[in-house]
Amino acid sequence: MTDIFSQRARNKRITVLLMLGFFVFAVLVGISVDIYTYGEIDFTRIPVATVFAASLASFNGFLSYFYGSSIVLRSLGAEPPVFEDPSHKRLHNVVTEMALASGLPMPKVYIINDPAPNAFATGRGPSSAVVGVTQGLLDTMNREELQAVIAHEMGHIKSSDILTMTVVTVLVGTVSILSDWAVRTWRYGGVRPRRSVRDKGGIHPVALIVIALFVLLSPLISRIIAMAVSRNREYQADVSSAEFTRNPLALASALEKIAGATSPLRTARRGTAHLFISDPLQRKLDEKTGLVADVFSTHPPIHERVARLKKMGYQFEKNDAKKV
């Protein structure tokens, strides 16, 4: 297992690189629109699209860092627990236990009123972390399984995964907005190479096709980046859960129950799917292996995670037997 401090430092570096990368990506979309509009890069006029893209990316980057968790909670319809509800009180007790076990401050707790069992974590760091679960998770899990799921989310918090994934959530949405804006502008005739530019030879048709494809595919490319960042983190958080609870089989059982759910999470979207312990959209691709699945899935296959956890459980039992 990677040292937690090294992993935390690595995640912070990745977050900075992602923010810079998405900023550059957004600016490239703006430049593409300006080139398409004028047929050339002309420094004598204001590149309107580029300025707009850079401003939006900067603003949303700021939002994602300081207010990303609030945006995520609002988009998922998450609400604070109602302590008159016994299941909410049990959740609060379990989160307190796992905060102590992981050596972290008590995170804020939120509930999504949905029957699909799932959980997520978000925030800027341990001092501002949020753990959210669905009502379906509370209704489905026994106490040990709930502990294991919460410990998994605490693992994300301890390694600073939550900052990286929260920032990615907002920035992926930014690229999608810019791409949609560019396409709508083109559709309504707002950007066409000026006649004077075309008469001079204008922009090459191949360049036009490349620019159009880049803008159209930018949301897909940004999502692939988000998925690649997300997948391997789940394995590490599973290991953290086993360490905090000393019970990897409880998480294996919880994941099997989550995999057996019959309906996707209603409020989840593609932009937030990577935040959850299991794909809330229940896409079949996440349960496959191979190159295509590695590129397009947000989570590693649950059966692979369960197999690893059961192997860990066997190792834990073996070590305990030696101590006796």
- Over range 179-190, report the average pLDDT: 69
Alpha helices in the chain (DSSP H): 4-38, 48-76, 86-102, 135-140, 143-158, 161-187, 195-199, 205-245, 248-259, 291-296, 302-323
Task: Specify whether 153 is catalytic.
Answer: yes
Rounded-to-integer distance, Cα 78 and Cα 112, Å? 5
- Structural domain tally of the chain? 1
Q: Which residues of 218-257 are buried (b: 16+ CB within 10 A; e: fewer)?
A: bbeebbebbbebbbebbebbbbbbbbbbebbbbbbbbbeb
Higher pLDDT, 212 or 117: 117
Query: How much is the pTM?
Result: 0.78
* pLDDT tens by residue, 280-314: 887 776 666 665 666 667 788 898 899 999 988 87
pLDDT of residue 1: 45
Output the six-digit token pair for 224.
Answer: 């692939």
Gyration radius from the chain CA atoms = 23
Of 40, 144, 153, 234, catalytic = 153
Amino acid sitting at position 7: Q
Torsion of CA 177, 179, 181, 185, to 10 degrees: 180
Rounded-to-integer distance, Cα 199 and Cα 206, Å? 17
Domain range for 51 is: 4-323
